[in-house]
Chain A
């Protein structure tokens, strides 16, 4: 909450297409109707923080499709992880997936996008916007968190936390963090309302890829593909909506609920993306295709543990 005189900041020269401030999300207030928000690709957010020596929960910039141009008021260690972009500092190319130094007064530009949809820019010390209900995450629809609850605009000053800290920066990633295949392979567990669909609906879900429709955003992806058939109507009494759940309105075309989803919804939910594959979904955008596979809880846990080990191995480079 050190906004104002004295604290260093990032000055936004160009905001990019949709650049928001995110941390691990606003947990604990869904009972009051407050959505969680948080990074669409939580793994890339976490690694960007690790590379600059921040704690996992420090706020980063989530960059979508077209990157911003930022001027630094003081010297900072920065890292960008996730979607692959050409990144320059004062016109010189710097590596993604590795920490680099930006001098006071220098301009960092996240330029041409190569692959993936979202990159996370971490600055040592974190982005120090006010904490609202326990989190700095931006939720766009309720205009909460981040910088006045909205995406960055040209001329904004994003205050930075103190850059001193006990942690060292991590080494560059040995390999870039993996981005989705085409189509993206995403595993789901059936439920919580699989019985609201016909017996063949899970087979239908896996029969062909679904394409992410244009009307898709941080709240959810409207999918276009094989029609899922309800067994007893498409309305239920409103019920909680977990991250990664596939809710299906009367059209039979599922909606994959993402970071900015509402806390509850009134459509039956056929299946839920496993935690380990949320980061895959977070790198997708309209026009991308998803091939769903139903898996077991054991496979879901094995995938999550493998992912956690890979993340921890990188974080272990910090002291």
Chain B
């Protein structure tokens, strides 16, 4: 495991791994983040894994970046990768196209194929949740097949409805709440990735595996009405 520790101001350090989007790098990131979270170190406020780094936020009056860096270095030998498939894959139903997926025809044109082929390719793969960010519960997933990996809109939409499923290059994701957004929208899921009223507010966490599967509009309505 190779990393470097970089201070970010006086109250955060960043543990940086290889700067690439890669499942192996991300697995190291998550292993380190989980070890640090489990250690509940004094003065640490938050441990935040991303694609390729872990940020450790701390109270600078209680600890400092040197102490944390020394601790991370010392513990590094004990970090080990989480066993594969620690959590079962999360299956997410998607009603593709139509009013729910206004960009599906554009993605099909980008890929020189039919809408149905885009749906087949998007739902054929298991995706890794690399990180969460942007808004509560938004999971950055990949890696999308290059053929349908259309870049995001140059100008984001002002409003993207909650549940929208989008593509941005090799990333895919579900909008948990209505927000502005630039991803290519290909469908919508009745599932809510974030619901503060649920016992488990967040559907996904970094390191999870996600599989999308197509459902008809009636199934979407039924699942949405069923309080999913």
Contact = CB atoms under 8 A, between A and B. Distances in A.
B38 interface: no
B46 A191 contact: no
Contact of A34 (B9, B10, B136): B136
Contacts of A189: 7, 9-10
A240 B134 contact: no
Interface residues of B, number: 46
Query: Which one of A33, A239, A242, A273 has the highest number of Cβ atoms from chain B below 10 Å of its Cβ?
Result: A33
B19 A27 contact: no
B11 interface: yes
A242 B57 contact: yes
B123 to A, nearest CB: 24
Contact of B136 (A29, A239, A272): A29
Kindly name the residue among A264, A274, A304 whose own CB sees the greatest number of chain B CB atoms within 10 A. Answer: A264
A43 B20 CA distance: 39
A301 B9 contact: no
A33 B46 contact: no
A273 B132 CA distance: 25
B12 A242 contact: yes
B136 to A, nearest CB: 4
B45 A239 contact: no
A141 B11 CA distance: 25
Contacts of A192: 6-8, 14
Contact of B135 (A141, A237, A239, A245): A141
Nearest to A308: B61
B10 A274 contact: yes
Interface stretch (B47-55, B74-82, B89-97): B47-55
A176 interface: no
B135 A240 contact: no
Find the residue from A27, A142, A193 having the highest chain B CB count within 10 A. A142
Interface in B98-132: 131-132
B220 interface: no
B132 A274 contact: no
A31 B136 contact: no
A33 B9 contact: no
Given A142-B136, A144-B136, A239 B6 contact: no
A300 B20 CA distance: 32
Nearest to A273: B9
B32 interface: no
Given A245-B9, A301-B10, A142 B135 contact: yes
Given A33-B135, A237-B20, A238-B140, A304 B50 contact: no
Contact of B51 (A34, A142, A238, A262): A238
Given A29-B136, A30-B48, A33-B137, A242 B11 contact: yes
A304 B14 contact: no
Among B14, B48, B138, the most chain A Cβ lie within 10 Å of the Cβ of B48
A93 interface: no
A33 B11 CA distance: 19
Interface stretch (B153-161, B184-192, B200-208, B211-219): B200-208
Contacts of B131: 238, 264
A124 interface: no
Interface of B: 6-12, 14, 19-21, 33, 37, 45-53, 55, 57, 60-61, 64-65, 131-140, 177, 179, 194, 196, 201-202, 205-206
Given A27-B57, A32-B136, A264-B134, 18 more contacts: A28-B45, A32-B132, A133-B196, A144-B196, A192-B14, A193-B6, A237-B20, A237-B21, A237-B52, A238-B131, A239-B55, A242-B8, A242-B12, A242-B55, A264-B131, A272-B10, A272-B12, A275-B10
5 contacts: A27-B57, A33-B132, A33-B138, A141-B135, A301-B60
